[in-house]
């Protein structure tokens, strides 16, 4: 489904990562995997380190920390935004919405629309789209979109297909109207028939958590996982990305009346380097037009890998020249989305550590 | 075929890949191994196996791998 958003922009990005770091090789030692195999895998998939929250840390902790950082630095005023969107798959509770919890903990005004969106690796773009729609309202001057996940807490430490790759992180994007004559093009697609490709089977109302669902089961290849844990059909997800994402991007560029050459960077969600390289090959893109350096340093932190890529790589370029970018996310749902926009200098664009001592 | 067998042996030295008709069913290749195999084949034959081709059916046994390589213009 195509969308067009006029005179809107992202005006700030903050990425927040837990201070606690683990290395891929350190984790792989737990899996009866020879060191030489681990090293080969590390090189191919681009896994080096990942950031994991300490026990007890929740999404609201990362969100509150990030917003307080912006308030304290004078980069954002607490009354300046009229909507707070939180995109997460790992809420603090089933109810209330975690966005309300963040509002309450920070003592934000009551005239604030708080909204949780349950989305994963495509979630950053879904959150942006929702925010751009809200900005059509006169009463909404600015929108904060928090994208955060602490999926390590729902991943079996004995599942080597998931745990060594997962990263916890959050991002805060500030969105507002743009005085320039800017146009943002977006395409969002969903396919619920493939909803089981990425799933936490137990813990909801369909299959409540019990002692049985918490029990680790042998799921093959010496991996142990419970029904309470994240389950990923890696092969199906890999295939889905390769089949669906290139034509979506191509169709978006056609819809926008532009070409691949006119795009400075294709900033995709980063599950692993191998998948991105195959995606770039398919799209006939040189690898340097598709940044891949987030997953190796921080792990796969769902949709947050996209804002993190911008914060780490492009803050200087945004000030100097601005960038034409195509963002693309793909994952749970299944959901896949792309957005074409021009990024200009932000009010803030940085990455900060969430200190271990801030753990609750 | 010998070169493919050597590549497979490099990834999982503990198995004899000439005796199995289904590497995945027989537990000789898992999803990580498949990634390593694709990457090794890409490098060895200067090809780029497409993402959509990375499915278990193409890596079931030596014959299916050979057929995939032929599709990319590799003559064994």
In this predicted model, what pLDDT tens digit does every residue of B19-57 receive, in sequence order? 889 998 888 888 788 888 998 999 899 998 998 898 888
Q: What is the pTM of this model?
A: 0.92
| CATH superfamily membership of A7-180+350-358 | Thiolase/Chalcone synthase (3.40.47.10)
- Bridge partners of A166? A300
Q: Are A290 and A325 in contact (CB under 8 A)?
A: no
- Bridge partners of A326? A266, A340
Max distance between CA atoms of chain B, in angstroms, equals 30
Whether residue B32 lies within 8 A of chain A, CB to CB, comes out as: yes
DSSP H helices in B24-71: 31-45, 62-71
Quote the pLDDT of residue A209.
96
Q: Are A8 and A182 in contact (CB under 8 A)?
A: yes
Q: Which residue of A has its CA nearest to B14?
A: A34
Report CB contact under 8 Å: A282, B30.
no
A185-204+213-345 has which fold? Peroxisomal Thiolase; Chain A, domain 1 (3.40.47)
Quote the pLDDT of residue A359.
52
Per-residue tokens: A334:
């299944």
Residues A354 and A58: their CA atoms lie apart, in Å, by 12
Per-residue b or e along A326-349, where b marks 16 or more CB atoms closer than 10 Å to that residue's CB: bbbbbbbbbbbbbbbbebbebebb
Predicted confidence band of residue B64 (pLDDT cuts 50, 70, 90)? very high
Q: What is the CATH number of domain B2-71?
A: 1.10.1200.10
A59-72 and A98-106 are packed helices; what angle lies between their axes, rounded to 10 degrees? 40
pLDDT in tens, chain A (360 residues): 999 999 999 999 999 999 999 998 888 877 767 777 778 788 888 888 999 999 999 999 999 999 999 999 999 999 999 999 999 999 999 999 999 999 999 999 999 999 999 999 999 999 999 999 999 999 999 999 999 999 999 999 888 888 888 999 999 999 999 988 899 999 999 999 999 999 999 999 999 999 999 999 988 777 889 999 999 888 889 899 999 999 999 999 999 999 999 999 999 999 999 999 999 999 999 999 999 999 999 999 999 999 999 999 998 888 777 899 999 999 999 999 999 999 998 999 999 999 986 655
Backbone torsions φ then ψ of A111, nearest 5 degrees? -80, 65
Whether residue B43 lies within 8 A of chain A, CB to CB, comes out as: no
Residues A158 and A125: their CA atoms lie apart, in Å, by 31
The region that residue A191 occupies, defined by phi over 0 for left and psi between -120 and 50 for alpha, beta otherwise, is beta
Domain map of chain B by residue range? 2-71
Which of A38, A40, A164, A336 to substitute to test the interface with B, most B CBs within 10 Å? Answer: A40
pLDDT over threshold 80, residue B1: no
Residues B16 and B9: their CA atoms lie apart, in Å, by 8
Backbone torsions φ then ψ of A50, nearest 5 degrees? -145, 155
Domain map of chain A by residue range? 7-180+350-358, 185-204+213-345
Residues A211 and A214: their CA atoms lie apart, in Å, by 5
Question: Residue B70, exposed/middle/buried by CB under 10 A (0-12, 13-18, 19+)?
Answer: exposed
User: In the A/B pair of chains, how many CB contacts fall below 8 A?
Assistant: 49
Which residues of chain B make contact with A243, given a CB cutoff of 8 A?
52
CA pseudo-torsion sign A85, A19, A96, A199: positive
């Amino acid at each position: 489904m195509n969308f067009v958003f006029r005179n809107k922009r992202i005006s700030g990005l903050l990425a927040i990562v837990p201070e606690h770091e683990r290395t891929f090789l350190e984790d792989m030692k737990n899996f009866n995997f020879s060191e030489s195999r681990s090293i080969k895998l590390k090189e191919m998939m681009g896994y080096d380190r990942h950031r994991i929250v300490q026990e007890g840390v929740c999404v609201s902790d990362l969100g509150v920390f990030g917003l307080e950082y912006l308030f304290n630095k004078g980069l954002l005023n607490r009354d300046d935004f009229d909507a707070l969107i939180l995109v997460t798959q790992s809420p603090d509770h089933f109810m209330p919405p975690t966005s309300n919890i963040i509002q309450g903990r920070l003592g934000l005004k009551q005239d604030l629309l708080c909204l949780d969106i349950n989305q994963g690796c495509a979630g950053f773009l879904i959150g942006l789209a929702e925010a751009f729609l809200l900005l059509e309202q006169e009463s909404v001057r600015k929108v904060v979109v928090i994208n955060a996940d602490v999926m390590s807490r729902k991943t079996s430490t004995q599942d080597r297909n998931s745990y060594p790759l997962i990263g916890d992180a959050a991002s805060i994007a500030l969105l507002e109207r743009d005085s320039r004559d800017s146009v943002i093009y977006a395409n969002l697609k969903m396919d619920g028939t493939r909803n089981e490709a990425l799933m936490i089977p137990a813990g909801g109302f369909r299959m409540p958590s019990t002692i049985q669902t918490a029990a680790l089961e042998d799921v093959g290849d010496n991996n142990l996982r419970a029904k309470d844990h994240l389950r990923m059909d890696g092969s199906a997800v890999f295939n889905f990305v390769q089949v669906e994402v290139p034509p979506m991007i191509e169709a978006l560029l056609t819809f926008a009346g532009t070409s691949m050459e006119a795009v400075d960077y294709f900033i995709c969600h980063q599950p692993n380097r191998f998948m991105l390289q195959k995606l770039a090959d398919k799209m006939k893109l040189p690898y340097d037009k598709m940044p891949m350096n987030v997953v190796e340093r921080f792990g796969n932190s769902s949709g947050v890998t996209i804002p993190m890529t911008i914060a780490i790589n492009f803050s200087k370029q945004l000030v100097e020249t601005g960038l034409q970018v195509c963002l693309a996310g793909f994952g749970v749902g299944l959901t896949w989305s792309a957005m074409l926009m021009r990024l200009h200098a932000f009010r803030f664009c940085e990455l900060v550590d969430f200190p271990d001592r801030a753990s609750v | 075929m010998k070169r493919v067998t050597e590549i497979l042996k490099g990834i999982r030295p503990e198995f004899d890949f000439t005796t199995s008709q289904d590497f995945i069913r027989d537990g000789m290749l898992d999803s990580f191994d498949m990634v390593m195999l694709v990457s090794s084949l890409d490098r060895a034959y200067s090809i780029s196996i497409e993402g959509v081709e990375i499915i278990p059916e193409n890596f079931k046994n030596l014959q299916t791998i050979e057929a995939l390589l032929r599709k990319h213009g590799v003559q064994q």
